[in-house]
Structure 1
Amino acid sequence: MLDFYPTRSVHFEAWDGTQNCQATHALFPSLSSFKTTRRSTLAGSHSDLQDKLDAVLEVLRAKGHEQLLMTNKTSLLEKLESQAHTWEMLARKQESDIVALRERMAKTEVELRASTLALENNASEHTRVVDLLNAKIANLTNLLSKVAPLKG
């Protein structure tokens, strides 16, 4: 935002310095002593200065427009830099999340391999125990058939 400056003759004639901010007054203390002028003063007594004033006001308008554009560009640049920083922070966060998930996945894969091996070992042990019990049953059945005829 720019401080007040006259852009037309009407504004120049009404300009007495009170329209300016304190920072401008600090830079230019003589603003406090400005007085307004009448239209007739410039047009009548100083008509030779009217063209110069119009030229100066045109330059002021152009300079003000340029400064506003630069301010807007600076604001836009700051906004874009802020957004870029936000995206970079998000990317770093997601990168750390991916690393953590990969570590968790590796740990889970190790646990899965261990569980699969334990399951295979349990199945093998189950088969061995069932075969052993079936053999014992067969032995006991065989023994029973030898003992049973004696009782009868």
Structure 2
Amino acid sequence: MKRTVRQAEVSKQEADTNIDRKLNILNGWIANGIPYRESADGDIMLDSHDRKRLDFYPTSLRQFKAWDATQNCETVRLRLPAITATGNDTLAKRPAKQDLARRLIEALQRRAQTQTAQTSASEVKRLQAELKVARAIVGIREAELLEQQRSIRRIGRELAHLRAERDGHANEFKRLYDELTTELAEQKRENAILVAKLAKLKPLRAAARDRDDG
């Protein structure tokens, strides 16, 4: 049973780590730009309009869950940390991470627009797209702050619970100690009474022996 619980804890931690790695990659791409797709020779590939092609990035939660870096070109894949596909239920059981993934994907799509605009002649379009990215990043940071605040409140509740348990154990120890102290005192009192009775009986026994000897 203990081994099963331990294995479940390890699996949960590995799933959390995998999702966090994916979220961190998207965060980096939003801040620094989505990498461009490169050929095996290291040349940046172009689309039909002679614009740089962006490498794969998830545009939906379904793609985010299926993403395991095999969708990326080799050059990009070698720069990424190890990631694996995420099960549907795995992400759904972590609503805060799922919501953050959704926000990051939306911001990433805006980042893609800015990078596409950068390779075209429309500077106004690029600046407008940059503004959308900045607003999306602000929304993401606000969501992260709220999640951190929730974590702090949860830790505070757990700490209060542990303190209450500690105080409860201390009270129980004091109660048992007082009971044992009282019981010991009572036994000492009873022993003293018995000793006193024995002391009274000794002369009587001596007198009885004297009579028997006479």
Q: How far off its partner does 1:11 sit? A: 6.8
- Partner secondary structure for residue 7 of structure 1: helix
Contact 1:6 1:12 in 2 (8 A): no
Report what 1:24 is aligned to.
none
2:164 matches 1:92: yes
Q: How far off its partner does 1:116 sit? A: 0.8
Q: How far off its partner does 1:66 sit? A: 2.2
Report what 1:65 is aligned to.
137
Greater relative contact order (Cα 8 A, min sep 6): structure 1 or 2?
A: 1
Q: How far off its partner does 1:132 sit? A: 2.0
User: Unmatched 5+ residue regions in structure 2?
Assistant: 1-99
Q: Which amino acid letter does the alignment assign opposite residue 7 of structure 1?
A: R
Distance across 2 between alignment mates of 1:113 and 1:139: 40
Moved over 3 A (4+): 8-13
Q: How far off its partner does 1:129 sit? A: 1.9
Q: How far off its partner does 1:78 sit? A: 0.8
Contact 1:6 1:57 in 2 (8 A): yes
Report what 1:122 is aligned to.
194
Q: Give the % identical residues.
A: 6
User: Unmatched 5+ residue regions in structure 1?
Assistant: 14-38, 144-152
Contact 2:114 2:127 in 1 (8 A): no
2:112 matches 1:8: yes
Contact 2:114 2:126 in 1 (8 A): no
Q: Deviations over 1:80-103 (max 9, x none)?
A: 211110110121122222222222
Report what 2:81 is aligned to.
none
Q: Please, what TM-score do these two structures have when normalized by structure 2?
A: 0.44
Of 101, 110, 123, 2:173 maps to 101
Distance across 1 between alignment mates of 2:125 and 2:207: 120
Q: Deviations over 1:97-149 (max 9, x none)?
A: 222222222222211111110111112222222332123213332x2xxxxxx
Contact 1:8 1:54 in 2 (8 A): no
Distance across 1 between alignment mates of 2:132 and 2:163: 45
Q: Please, what TM-score do these two structures have when normalized by structure 1?
A: 0.60
Q: Deviations over 1:44-88 (max 9, x none)?
A: xxx5xx222211222222222222222222112111211110110
Distance across 1 between alignment mates of 2:124 and 2:206: 119
Distance across 1 between alignment mates of 2:170 and 2:138: 47
Distance across 2 between alignment mates of 1:131 and 1:66: 98
Distance across 2 between alignment mates of 1:52 and 1:103: 77
- Partner secondary structure for residue 8 of structure 1: helix
Paired residues in the alignment total: 110
Pick which of 105-114 and 132-141 moved more: 132-141
2:158 matches 1:54: no
Contact 2:114 2:130 in 1 (8 A): no
